Amino acid sequence: MQFNNDARRALSESDIYNTPQKAVFKALAWSKGDLIMANRTGTYVAFDGLGETDPAKSDFKYYATIQAWSANKNIEFNITNSHEKTYAVRDSSAKATLYARIQERLRASKNMLVILTKDTRYTGSVLSYEIEQAIDNYKIPLIIAYPGYSAICDVDALSNLWPKTLAERIGNAGVEAIHIAFKKEPIFDAISQFYVNGKHLSSGKNYYNRQSYIDWGFVE
């Protein structure tokens, strides 16, 4: 399903930032791994750590970009950092602790922003577990962002970038997802509209129409 301008602008900026449930942005403390809120007000940011502990060498760099974009926007993000993901793969006890933390953060999240790139692994990453839990257990909408694109209007054309856990679930009844370009405007528009107790998505293959990207200035 594609969303036109009216649907995209159904919530004004004043509506988003002046509701009683507005989220509070917390400074990133990724080395501590303690970005947790009691209520489901946060956006869980998921990406493939690519087996790296150095954030600059993984898709963590896209989270840093979002953090810069979100300055002064009162948005809370939940994240599981690259150090935790990498060490947990090597240590079974650490993995159990990590998975418990992921579940705790998902319980505090209203939606999940998933960042997928050409380097995202099909299997074997913690990202696969995060997607599985978000869909199967916590029933939260996915906002799937793809760096390197000006617009996303053909969802199936990107299926080669999907981890196995996403590919196996995306067509299932009840799955809610919207696929967007990794750009500030569509990311924050989707976060503000599609969340637990917010607007519902009709399937796992929604996207904004081309006119929306024209209005945002990304395509002509």
Helix then strand then coil, in percent of the chain rounded to 5, is 40, 15, 45
Using the structure block, give the residue that is written with the tokens 């998933």: 114
CATH class of the domain at 2-216: alpha beta
Per-residue tokens: 39: 């209520």
pLDDT at residue 132 above 70? yes
At 30-40, the pLDDT tens digits run 333 333 344 78
At a CB cut-off of 8 Å and minimum separation 6, what does 184 contact? Answer: 69
What mean pLDDT is reported for the chain? 78
pLDDT at 155: 98
Per-domain boundaries in the chain: 2-216
Residue 181 three-state SS: strand
Mean per-residue pLDDT for 196-208?
A: 96
pLDDT at 32: 31
For residues 64 and 55, is the Cβ–Cβ distance under 8 A?
yes
